[in-house]
Amino acid sequence: MALPRLRREARDALAVYGYLLLSAQQLEKAHAVFKGMRVLFPDDAHVIRSLAVTSLATGDAATALALADEAQAKASDEDPALDAVRGKALFALGRAEEARAALGRSLARRAAPRPNGNPASNGKAT
């Protein structure tokens, strides 16, 4: 479901704030931002993925894994970042073989050419 423009811009601004907090090692604050965003945007796969990232960063690997699985089910395409979060969460839970498989998928998806013919740019301008 496409969000109206204003709502999408609010989501994006909150996400930037959350990731700034995360990069500044303000893990609990970043986690709180994404938990709040989950209330506002409960079905948004990007919000769920971000909450999985902060769950993992705060040491809750089981929740991170559950959220990554949920985000993957809602995502419209294969997301190598979700595979990476799943792999890290699985590793933290002591499930090394599953972690290796998830991280391998993440690397393979990042290396695979995109449908438009360009390699995965991971959101970076080329």
What confidence tens digit (pLDDT) does each residue in 76-120 have? 777 888 999 999 999 999 999 999 999 999 999 888 877 665 544
pTM: 0.79
Query: Would you say 118 and 126 are in contact if contact means Cβ atoms under 8 Å apart?
Result: yes
- Start-end of H helices in the chain: 5-23, 27-40, 45-57, 61-74, 80-92, 96-111
Number of domains in the chain: 1
Q: Which domain holds residue 31?
A: 5-111
pLDDT of residue 112: 80
Q: Given CA atoms 105, 107, 112, 113 in this order, what sign does their dihedral have?
A: positive
pLDDT in tens, 14-28: 999 999 999 999 999
Per the domain annotation, does 21 fall within a domain?
Answer: yes
pLDDT in tens, 45-79: 899 999 999 999 999 999 999 999 999 888 777 78
The CATH number for 38's domain is 1.25.40.10
| Cβ neighbours for 77, distance < 8 A, ≥ 6 positions apart | none
Strand, coil or helix: 113: strand
Per the domain annotation, does 63 fall within a domain?
Answer: yes
Per the domain annotation, does 118 fall within a domain?
Answer: no
